[in-house]
Structure 1
């Protein structure tokens, strides 16, 4: 991961404040926070998570020893998807009982931090993935927390047993009930944030829980496709169409349009199977108001 440019390091290398101001005016460098910048061409600037990761890296060197990156900041450092939360604030935790504080760009949490709860990510002390998932689940919106937990499980970064053990050590802490609900709902079969958020919305709107990543074969045993969501009683397939999915599906030399055409052929083959009585598809904009989609899905 590339690192931000820190004013104190630049000055030691002979760069003057006039040079810094000139680079900022010309947008050769872009400001992360006072005294920290990213190069205009740095890919981290292009998305909120990348900028936040750089902001974390720019903030930790300014803090007294003992600060451990935690919460959504740790989730970003572990490469877990976050959304619906403020990424302008860096979250750290200190192993003590008091002294928490919040400023414009930093929130210091306090509480027990075991040695096994801390790992190094690009040289920065960061809560482990299991501790991060539980901390996010204690404080973030339910859909954000489920997205983080699903991704950690899906990528094999944690196991359900890891999360259960971390929940036990967090017993009695603020938000632990919410964290238990998130971990109980989490499912590593969900393949991406869109599927995770879809699951949360289905549950909220009373749609029966689907089977995730269900394999459908034809009568001869040939694999037709693995679908995102499957309601066997209704014979209904549900598919979340995030464009990042088609990017992952690209074969050498293909364009996204080629992948979309292949998906159309796949859907036609699915619809031709006797067990499939319908296919419902939705995209990111549909997650803003999911009720029309939910109306097309099975009801209890």
Structure 2
């Protein structure tokens, strides 16, 4: 982009309008050419951005960045300050992971007696926001992180709500009094039982999307509550800090996430093998779960149960 359009786009989260491109010196033909060859992409009607290469990112991070562009495209076409970005759209601007959330529309909350509903791909919510519920992110009015979390949890599955709640607790924490106030505010909203259950289950010790999902999976299959981020030592000193420990069943469960082992370099793999051998030597069974395993949750639960059985036989 030329310098003038670069400045305009930077002020709008990377998004620019057709009119802004024209006033910055591009012709209609040049705009069409850049859209056709992939240098630019259409975010929504009349709103564009330079195409980004997101292929190395986890899927949920790709979704977050694309949803952020959609949000800024909506704002760039309004500029009237009448709405506050809310729900999962607010979580996106706060930089939270958006695994499992519906991102087909931009969510906003507006006060007053105007009609809510879906308008041109934007979901308008009517809600009474108190000053503590509103903040700004890069100059954009958004619901504060605790409010955005409970709003989102009312529209999500239990699993997706826990992923979001774990991330919020991990990044910023959540005061008990504030959580009680927000849960009271949404008491009669559709989905509020899911939100309450997710807030009760959430833990800041879940350190990734995968760990949060695995914790939900184990809970849903009736496994006992694990100890999160337990540390182990042997005669030679520190061995490992593990994702999940079941002390009564002498079993450790680890989530093997994306790029966890440095793209599988031999040195890292050897070091990890030694780590696991030391854990087994102090009497722990070790179960590893990967992203692909989430496609067969019953098999994951059965594998952990088998490890419990082996530990009992070895005791």
* TM, length-normalised to structure 2: 0.84
Q: Which residue of 2 aligns with 1:251?
A: none
> For residues 106-129 of structure 1, what are the alpha-carbon distances to aligned partners after superposition, in whole Å with 9 as ceiling and x for unaligned?
111111111111111121111111
The residue matched to 2:254 in structure 1 has which SS? strand
**Which is richer in helix?**
2
The range that moved more, 42-51 or 9-18, is 42-51
Structure 1 residue 230, shift from structure 2 partner: 0.7
- 8 Å CA contact 1:44–1:54 kept in 2: the answer is no
Q: Which residue of 1 aligns with 2:299?
A: 292
Please point out which of 41, 46, 49 is paired with 1:30: 41
Please point out which of 232, 239, 245 is paired with 1:224: 239
Q: Which residue of 2 aligns with 1:52?
A: 67
- 8 Å CA contact 1:129–1:157 kept in 2: the answer is no
Q: Distance in 2 between matches of 1:97 and 1:114?
A: 16
Q: Which residue of 1 aligns with 2:193?
A: 177
Q: Distance in 2 between matches of 1:295 and 1:97?
A: 53
Q: Which residue of 2 aligns with 1:40?
A: 51
Q: Distance in 2 between matches of 1:256 and 1:31?
A: 37
Distance 1:140 1:96, change over 3 A: farther
Q: How many residues are matched?
A: 290
Please point out which of 204, 210, 213 is paired with 2:229: 213
Please point out which of 256, 259, 262 is paired with 2:268: 259
- 8 Å CA contact 1:286–1:293 kept in 2: the answer is yes
Q: Distance in 2 between matches of 1:159 and 1:235?
A: 34
Structure 2 residue runs of 5 or longer lacking an equivalent are 1-9, 309-315
Q: Distance in 1 between matches of 2:140 and 2:55?
A: 17
Distance 1:96 1:201, change over 3 A: farther
Structure 1 residue 219, shift from structure 2 partner: 4.4
> For residues 242-290 of structure 1, what are the alpha-carbon distances to aligned partners after superposition, in whole Å with 9 as ceiling and x for unaligned?
124445xxxxxxx65243332222111211113x1x1010101111221
Matches within 5 A, 1:275-286: 276=284, 278-286=285-293
Note if 1:203 corresponds to 2:214: no
> For residues 6-27 of structure 1, what are the alpha-carbon distances to aligned partners after superposition, in whole Å with 9 as ceiling and x for unaligned?
2222122232322211111111
Matches within 5 A, 1:79-98: 79-96=95-112
- 8 Å CA contact 1:154–1:189 kept in 2: the answer is yes
Q: Distance in 2 between matches of 1:279 and 1:58?
A: 48
* TM, length-normalised to structure 1: 0.88
Structure 1 residue runs of 5 or longer lacking an equivalent are 248-254
